[in-house]
Amino acid sequence: MRWLPDAMGRLQAAALELFLERGYEATTVADIAERAGLTKRTFFRYFADKREVLFIGSERLVEAFVAAVTQAPAEAPPLAAMEAGLHALGDSFTAERHRFAAERAAIIASSPELQERELIKLAAMAAAAAAALRARGVGEPAATLAADAAITVFRVAFSRWVADDRPEGFRALTRESLDTLRMLAAAP
Amino acid sequence: MRWLPDAMGRLQAAALELFLERGYEATTVADIAERAGLTKRTFFRYFADKREVLFIGSERLVEAFVAAVTQAPAEAPPLAAMEAGLHALGDSFTAERHRFAAERAAIIASSPELQERELIKLAAMAAAAAAALRARGVGEPAATLAADAAITVFRVAFSRWVADDRPEGFRALTRESLDTLRMLAAAP
């Protein structure tokens, strides 16, 4: 078999194009492989199915997030440790990744099935974050509350990031959202 | 057809019994109707499918929640308005309802399909709450952050309520969770 430079990236780009052109439901793996100039066999070497094109790499994101929470200074309060986790995600949500993220978000918004998958992914991320806080000695319900609040901050910052014209701004938007949450919580 | 006293309640009780005895997947509508001493036809007069036995009434809960948010004093800050919504839910999560809620929670925890449905329901509740806050003049992202934070508080309080020995305590647990969140947010 000949070597294919960045077959995975080409398949991902082809899939996004087709999902946006024809819709997610109407696009098949055969369509994606054809558009990328590759075979279905090659597609399945990288992805289990067409949905995975949109979700691959999310385990790695969760790992980076959790590692940063775990490594935050021992004296950092729970939300500050979560903030360190969110900051680490900024390594992935760069200006270069902005277009992919925005297109992916539009595709997910178009499909209830994909929205469910995204919800499940975020719930798993919250559960992993709560476990990381408990490992730092944070009790319950504080660990779950801090983890879920941070995932809410992430979700809000991420959707603002993909929606607006500040591709460089994921970290700034995260800080703003967290500050807003702190302000809301401080009101009587 | 003869009149059946509380057919709906009997079907619901029979369904919960069977879900706990045999598992959710293994239980059929025919089993539920038989256990309740009723027909499948009667079952389908009340529920679209066996899943609905566990989720019926949730629209009414969301309506009560949103109505209380909407009716909170105009000067109430966003989280205080959400707190009014959570307080209203206490009318439903009474000591009498505790056993049903606890059994239902155990069944939902046993099935990924039911957990997904629960996640979707909570996401819809958060979206409705955010819309109610926007209608009160709260801007974004504050509305989404306050609504999601309140749903997190609800989720934590609810799971403590079904898990522990304070059936009368839903409102107290809600207050405690909200206080914990405020405390977490106040730490640097």
pLDDT in tens, B98-126: 888 999 999 999 998 899 889 999 999 99
Using a CB–CB cutoff of 8 Å, tell me whether B87 touches chain A. Answer: no
C-alpha pair distances (Å), B13 with each of A121, B20, B25, B37, B185: 33, 11, 17, 12, 42
Using a CB–CB cutoff of 8 Å, tell me whether A121 touches chain B. Answer: no
User: Which residues, at least 6 apart from B154, have a Cβ–Cβ distance to it below 8 Å?
Assistant: B86, B89, B122, B125, B174
Q: Smallest Cβ distance to B123: which of A119, A146, A188?
A: A119
The amino acid at B145: L
**Is the CB of A153 less than 8 angstroms away from the CB of B145?**
yes
Nearest CA-CA distance, residue B168 and chain A, Å = 19
Using a CB–CB cutoff of 8 Å, tell me whether B71 touches chain A. Answer: no
- Could you tell me the CATH superfamily of domain B7-53? Homeodomain-like (1.10.10.60)
* Structure letter (DSSP) for residue A3: -
3-state secondary structure chain B: CCCCCCHHHHHHHHHHHHHHHHCCCCCCHHHHHHHHCCCHHHHHHHCCCCCHHHHCCHHHHHHHHHHHHHHCCCCCCHHHHHHHHHHHHCCCCCHHHHHHHHHHHHHHHCCHHHHHHHHHHHHHHHHHHHHHHHHCCCCCCHHHHHHHHHHHHHHHHHHHHHHCCCCCCHHHHHHHHHHHHHHHHHCC
**Is the CB of A182 less than 8 angstroms away from the CB of B180?**
no
Q: Smallest Cβ distance to A180: which of B116, B142, B153?
A: B142
CATH 3.60.15.10 describes domain B57-186: no
CA distance A26 to A40: 16
Using a CB–CB cutoff of 8 Å, tell me whether A162 touches chain B. Answer: no
- Of the residues A151, A152, A179, the best mutation for testing chain B's interface (the one with the most B CB atoms within 10 Å of its CB) is A152
Mean pLDDT, rounded, for B19-28? 94
CA distance A175 to B124: 26
Condensed to tens digits (0 to 9), the pLDDT of residues B37-73 reads: 999 999 999 999 999 999 988 888 999 999 999 999 9
Q: What is the pLDDT of residue A1?
A: 46
**Is the CB of A181 less than 8 angstroms away from the CB of B185?**
yes
Using a CB–CB cutoff of 8 Å, tell me whether A172 touches chain B. Answer: no
Using a CB–CB cutoff of 8 Å, tell me whether A187 touches chain B. Answer: yes
Using a CB–CB cutoff of 8 Å, tell me whether A180 touches chain B. Answer: yes
B117: nearest CA partner in chain A: A116
Helix H or strand E encompassing A140: none
Q: What is the pLDDT of residue B3?
A: 54
Q: What is the pLDDT of residue B104?
A: 93
Q: Where are the domains of chain A?
A: 7-53, 57-186
Q: What is the pLDDT of residue A67?
A: 96
**pLDDT grade, residue B1 (50/70/90)?**
very low
Using a CB–CB cutoff of 8 Å, tell me whether B120 touches chain A. Answer: yes
Nearest CA-CA distance, residue A178 and chain B, Å = 9
pTM: 0.87
Q: Which residues of A touch B150 (CB under 8 A)?
A: none
Q: What is the pLDDT of residue A42?
A: 93
- The answer to whether A154 and A64 are in contact (CB under 8 A) is no
Condensed to tens digits (0 to 9), the pLDDT of residues B145-174 reads: 999 999 999 999 999 999 876 766 899 999
Which residue in B45, B7, B49, B54 sits closest to B29, CA to CA?
B49
Residue ranges, chain A, pLDDT below 70? 1-5, 165, 167-168
Which residue in A180, A9, A178, A169 sits closest to A90, CA to CA?
A169
Using a CB–CB cutoff of 8 Å, tell me whether A143 touches chain B. Answer: no
Q: What is the pLDDT of residue A39?
A: 93
| Arithmetic mean of pLDDT over chain B | 91
